[in-house]
Amino acid sequence: MSTKAWRNSTTRCSKSVTDLLQFGKQAFRIHAGRLLFFGALAFAAHAHAELYKWTDEKGKVHYSDQPPTVNAQTVKNPAAGQAETTSQATQSLNAKEQDYQKRRKEAEEAKAKADKEAEQALVQRENCAKARANLSTLQNTPRVYTTNAAGQRTYMDDAARANALATSQKAVSDFCK
């Protein structure tokens, strides 16, 4: 047998072993899944069995999932109690969820209101600072000018300056409370 033929045969062999291992892993997963499913099914069937309560001739109370021969009381089925408990829990959870949603909505509204008030306060402070700066300029600068539509400086006369000073004082009193 040549070296090349020997390598090909070992490669085929190792591939088949790898394939066999892969198949074994898949088979294990399938069987483990089935085992888990049937185990859960058996447990669920046992959990839904009825429960019987009876008292024997000696006065001893017995509980069993098998019905006795005589005078047995059927104790409440656990599934029925579970349904009542589940519906109560669902109602309780629904009420809690509604309360939570209500509190969350109120908190969002309060936050939005606080944000809006903070923004208004910021605008108010900026307007106050601008009004004070304008008033200071009018009071401390002897020659004040404005720019007209053509972009040229126009100096204020005393009447226009007095009018602008009164307007600035009113703006300071309005914005700086």
The SS3 call for residue 109 is: helix
Whether 11 and 28 map to the same domain: the answer is yes
Whether 17 and 93 map to the same domain: the answer is no
Rounded alpha-carbon distances, angstroms, from residue 4 to 13, 45, 170: 14, 61, 103
Cα gap 78→44, rounded to integer Å: 12
Whether 1 and 55 map to the same domain: the answer is no
Whether 37 and 62 map to the same domain: the answer is no
Whether 23 and 87 map to the same domain: the answer is no
Whether 92 and 74 map to the same domain: the answer is yes
Output the pLDDT for position 48: 58
Output the pLDDT for position 98: 93
Cα gap 166→172, rounded to integer Å: 10
- Per the structure, the count of domains in the chain is 2
Whether 137 and 72 map to the same domain: the answer is yes
Output the pLDDT for position 53: 78
59 near 71, Cβ under 8 Å? no
Output the pLDDT for position 67: 72
Q: Whole-structure pTM over 0.85, yes or no?
A: no
Look up the domain containing 4 and give its range: 1-47
Pick out the chain residues at pLDDT < 70.
Answer: 1-21, 23-24, 42-49, 69-84
Output the pLDDT for position 72: 54
